[in-house]
């Protein structure tokens, strides 16, 4: 069993081997993912939506991310662990970004950070990578900018925005990023970006041509039912199963069927 590293991912792209990434926020899911053979576990700030119940990812704090990453780390042996840096922990200044990203690597087992944005964060990416902190970029629909976008529409549809996303991807590679998440952009644009870069692209709602794919684990397990974007494929319907188990338990307790003698001392 060989640990997945930034080097592994770049080799996978070179060899045409697809990268499988999913999010995790806790020990049990991380352990199951690792045992199943996932390549990368992202401790996503999507935990703000699916774990904490917020409407956006903006309220998530650095402390939240460190807490969840520590839990994830206890379940992981092989997968690479990447941590999403929350809103305002890397945008204020290069110094603050170094301090906050450095804290994540010092206090958890995380091997890289993920930052949203393009040309605006290039100086931060340069500094972080120069001091040994690997950076995964994130372009397209960047949820921390949701109020600027005014909704969760597909990004990069018009020519000008598509060109900016492509230029940003190249700028991030130049600055030292080892991979880039492309979220909710047209498949053809993702294909063009993937072809233009020597680092891997990981798509979410960006079509089949990316070097890898990522989904939010609660979405693909059918646990998060508030809404289902078109790009989510459900591999299980866990919320139905769990609700059913809860209902059966409640019924058994109320009717006196649980516990029975075999479950008693």
CB 102 to ligand KIV: min, Å:
21
Show the beta-strand stretches assigned E in 184-226: 201-204, 212-215
With CB under 6 A as the contact rule, the residue among 181, 182, 210, 221 that binds ligand KIV is 181
Decide whether 1 or 234 has the Cβ nearer to ligand KIV.
234
Burial 43-74 (b: 16+ CB within 10 A, else e): bbbbbbbbbeeeeebbebebebbbebbebbbe
> Does the annotation list 219 as a binding residue?
no
Backbone angles phi, psi at 169, to 5 degrees: -60, -45
User: Do the annotations mark residue 45 as ligand-binding?
Assistant: yes
Q: Which stretch binds ligand KIV (CB under 6 A): 38-46, 86-94, 147-155, 164-172?
A: 38-46
Assess whether 173 carries a catalytic annotation.
no
Shortest gap between Cβ of 212 and ligand KIV (angstroms)? 11
Cα separation of 24 and 21, whole Å?
Answer: 10
DSSP codes joined into one string, 100-156: HHHHHHHHS---EEEEEBSGGGHHHHHHHHHTT--EEEEEES-GGGHHHHTS-PPSS
Say whether residue 39 binds ligand KIV (CB under 6 A).
no
Q: Which of residues 106-165 bind ligand KIV (CB under 6 A)?
A: none
Query: Rounded to the nearest whole angstrom, what is the least distance from the CB of residue 249 to ligand KIV in the complex?
Result: 31
Nearer to ligand KIV, 162 or 216 (CB): 216
Using CB under 6 A as the binding rule, the residues of this chain from 195 to 224 that contact ligand KIV are 204, 214, 216
Q: Verify binding: residue 84, ligand KIV, rule CB under 6 A.
A: yes
Helix (H, G, I), strand (E, B) or coil at 171: helix
β-pairing verdict for 40-43 and 135-140: unpaired
Evaluate whether 134 touches 40 at the Cβ level (below 8 Å): no
Q: What span, in angstroms and rounded, lies between the C-alpha atoms of 93 and 101? A: 12
CB of 171 to ligand KIV, least distance (A): 19
Is 114 annotated for ligand binding?
yes
d(CA 20, CA 220) in angstroms, rounded, equals 13
Nearest to 75, CA basis, from 35, 19, 21: 35
Q: Using CB under 6 A, which of the segments 3-11, 39-47, 85-93, 164-172 binds ligand KIV?
A: 39-47
Q: What's the CA gap between 60 and 52, in Å, rounded?
A: 9
* Residue span binding ligand KIV (CB under 6 A) among the ranges 37-45, 64-72, 192-200, 238-246: 37-45
Residue 159, annotated as binding a ligand: no
Residues noted as catalytic:
183
* Residues at the contact surface with ligand KIV, assessed by CB under 6 A: 23, 42, 44-46, 84, 181, 204, 214, 216
Please enumerate, by residue number, every residue annotated as part of a binding site for Mg(2+). 45, 84, 116
């Amino acid at each position: 069993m060989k640990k997945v590293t930034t080097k592994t991912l770049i080799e996978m792209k070179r060899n045409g081997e697809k990268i499988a990434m999913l999010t995790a926020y806790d020990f049990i899911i991380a352990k199951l993912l690792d045992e199943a053979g996932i390549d990368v576990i992202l401790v996503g700030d999507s935990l703000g939506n699916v774990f904490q119940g917020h409407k956006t990812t903006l309220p998530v704090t650095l402390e939240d991310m460190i807490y969840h990453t520590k839990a994830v780390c206890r379940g992981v042996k092989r997968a690479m662990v990447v941590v999403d840096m929350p809103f305002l922990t890397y945008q204020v200044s290069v110094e603050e970004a170094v301090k906050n990203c450095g804290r994540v690597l010092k206090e958890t087992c995380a091997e890289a950070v993920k930052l949203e944005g393009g040309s605006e964060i290039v100086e931060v990416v340069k500094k972080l990578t120069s001091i040994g902190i690997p950076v995964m970029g994130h372009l397209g629909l960047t949820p921390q900018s949701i109020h600027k976008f005014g909704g969760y529409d597909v990004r990069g549809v018009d020519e000008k925005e598509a060109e900016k996303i492509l230029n940003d991807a190249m700028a991030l590679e130049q600055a030292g990023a080892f991979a880039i998440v492309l979220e909710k952009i047209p498949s053809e644009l993702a294909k063009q970006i993937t072809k233009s870069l020597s680092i891997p692209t990981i798509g979410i709602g960006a079509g089949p041509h990316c070097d890898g794919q990522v989904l939010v684990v609660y979405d693909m397990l059918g646990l998060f039912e508030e809404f289902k974007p078109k790009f989510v494929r459900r591999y299980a319907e866990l919320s139905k199963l769990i609700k059913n188990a809860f209902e059966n338990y409640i019924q058994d307790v109320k009717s006196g069927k649980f516990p029975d003698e075999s479950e008693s001392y």
